Amino acid sequence: MPSRDAIADAYDAIADEYESVAEAQPHNAHHEFPATTALIPEVDGRRVLDAGCGAGRYAEWLGERGAEVVGCDVSEAMVERARARLGDDASVHRADVAEPLTFADADAFDGVVCSGVLDYVEDWRAPFEEFARVLRPGGFLVVSVGHPASEVNREAASNYFDVEPREAEFDVGPALYRRPLDEMVGPLLDAGFRLDALREPRPTEAFREAAPEEYERTAREPVFLCLRGVRRSEA
């Protein structure tokens, strides 16, 4: 498993351009982001954790829709960016989603959003169990990750059924992990969630306008997988 310090250092290094470059590139702005936000239920008046908040894009979106938002990220530079972006509209903590979220009490949240983070975590059981702990019964968890059948994951796989490291497609330093579908859904169910929705999103028309050649490839094969779980009362 890549060092958590290595992941933090990698995102510290790209923090200055993250908002202007990474958030704006078509796969994020016109593919993953609209698909993930489409799975988030009504949040007005609800308390929501943005787990792995980066520079605060999802936290900002949630706050604009009336949520009381708490964010966390392993990168200190990203935490600083999120705090500057969100101001008094959210509290942001430095924390690793692969470790206990010590800033959060049990049953503290109505929802958790975790976008593009769990690909860096080898074993999803610990974070899913922690998300279940901090969620109230009936609370939602929305997750986006790389699709197990994406081109980059197929090329990296020596055995589809294994959880294996692969090089990051973008220059952010530490390796990501590819895993089969049952290593995504199984830990979710084992942690006390029911699977409420699963999406294999297609790129939007805005993606076609921004990057027509890449759109043609992306429109024919999966890139992302988006899941929504609901915490069962016995979790």
Q: Which pLDDT value is given to residue 79?
A: 95
Residue spans per domain, the chain: 4-40+48-231
CA atoms of 230 and 235, how far apart (whole Å): 10
Q: What is the DSSP letter of 89?
A: G
Whole-model pTM: value is 0.91
CA atoms of 13 and 62, how far apart (whole Å): 26
Q: Which pLDDT value is given to residue 5?
A: 62
Token pair of 143 as six digits = 């997750």
Task: Find the helix or strand (DSSP H, E) in which 47 lies.
Answer: strand 47-51
User: Domain 4-40+48-231 - what CATH class?
Assistant: alpha beta
Residues in contact with 161: Cβ distance below 8 Å, sequence separation at least 6, in sequence order = 180
Q: Which pLDDT value is given to residue 169?
A: 57
Residue 82: how many other CB atoms lie within 10 Å: 29
CA atoms of 110 and 231, how far apart (whole Å): 10
φ, ψ of residue 74 in degrees (nearest 5): -75, -20
CA atoms of 10 and 79, how far apart (whole Å): 14
Q: Are 107 and 130 in contact (CB under 8 A)?
A: no
Residue written as tokens 């992302």? 224
pLDDT of the chain, 235 residues: tens digit per residue: 445 566 656 665 555 666 666 788 899 999 999 999 999 999 999 999 999 999 999 999 999 999 999 999 999 999 999 999 999 989 999 999 999 999 999 999 999 999 999 999 999 999 999 999 999 999 999 999 999 999 888 888 899 999 998 876 555 556 789 999 999 999 999 999 999 999 999 999 999 999 999 999 899 999 999 999 999 987 5
Residue ranges of alpha helices (H) inside the chain are 4-17, 26-27, 33-39, 57-64, 76-86, 125-134, 151-156, 182-190, 205-210, 212-218
